[in-house]
Amino acid sequence: MIRPVIAGNWKMNKTVAESVAFAVRLLAAYDTAPGPEVIIAPPFTALQAVAEAIRGSFIALCAQNLHEAEKGAYTGEISGGMLREAGCTAVIIGHSERRTLFGEGDDRINRKLQAALTTGLKPIFCIGESLRQREEDETETVIAHQLKEGLNNLTADDIVRLAIAYEPVWAIGTGKTASPEQAERVHRFIREWIAGRYGPECAATLAILYGGSVTPANIAGLMAQPDINGGLIGGASLDVDSFIRIIGN
């Protein structure tokens, strides 16, 4: 049985004060920990303050990115060790915005995955196709390529320490979303690919999240699918009441 994961990616939103206020309100909504694993990814500036606010709670702290090097002359970057020191236990890697806006390719994403695992962070590894690729029936080819290259040199022991997020690029921030059935087909393909490469036991324990305009209105239909184990939530995670409804779907 795979424990569901609900992860909120705040992107470049929220001040330190707003981030802490969100975390405090989220904690106040529960007398006991909810069923899903709950993860929030504030901007870098708020990580340490949010870590203090959620210390000892059911909420896990996640970074939105990291550099693959341990240290060095990389102005503006941050390492996995620095993220751990700030209180993070997870990190998003390969988000479509990093791929398209910042030119991150599969090889660099692979190095980032290895760096995260080395420093004890749980990677949320993002993959997904563009609208053109979907319309040209290239979804599975694109997904297989991103999996093969992104997970290069990783072992089954590594795979069980990460989560995969399928985020169709055409559905991110657009208000569009894949139907539950469309999303399930890709999630099943991902699980079958992992089973073929790393074994059925590894695939059976892997959390595969859906990301792409997830809202309180559509989360239940997505989560009802057998191979969808949670969500990587963007815009709908910025409002605490909306995020709480998604957690409790």
| Residue 212 pLDDT | 85
pLDDT digits (tens, 9 = 90+) for 113-158: 999 999 999 999 999 998 889 889 999 999 999 999 999 999 999 9
**Residue linked to tokens 């690729």:** 133
| Residue 1 pLDDT | 83
From the list 104, 206, 102, 103, the residue with the least C-alpha distance to 154 is 206
Q: Residue type for 142, please?
A: V
- Average pLDDT of the segment spanning 35-60: 98
CA distances from 8 to 88, 102, 212, 247 (A): 14, 21, 12, 10
Catalytic position from the list 95, 97, 104, 184: 95
Catalytic position from the list 68, 97, 129, 167: 167
Percent of the chain having pLDDT more than 90? 92
Q: Which DSSP state fits 81?
A: H
| Residue 175 pLDDT | 67
Q: Is 95 a catalytic residue?
A: yes
More confident residue, 212 or 233: 233
pLDDT tier, 173 (very low <50, low <70, confident <90, very high otherwise)? low
| Residue 213 pLDDT | 85
Hey, what domains does the chain have and what are their CATH numbers?
Answer: 5-247 (3.20.20.70)
Residue 248: Cβ-neighbour burial (10 angstroms; 0-12, 13-18, 19+): middle
Helix axes 16-28, 240-247, angle to 10 degrees: 40
Q: Where are the beta strands (DSSP E) in 47-141?
A: 59-63, 90-93, 122-127
Decide if pLDDT at 159 tops 70: yes
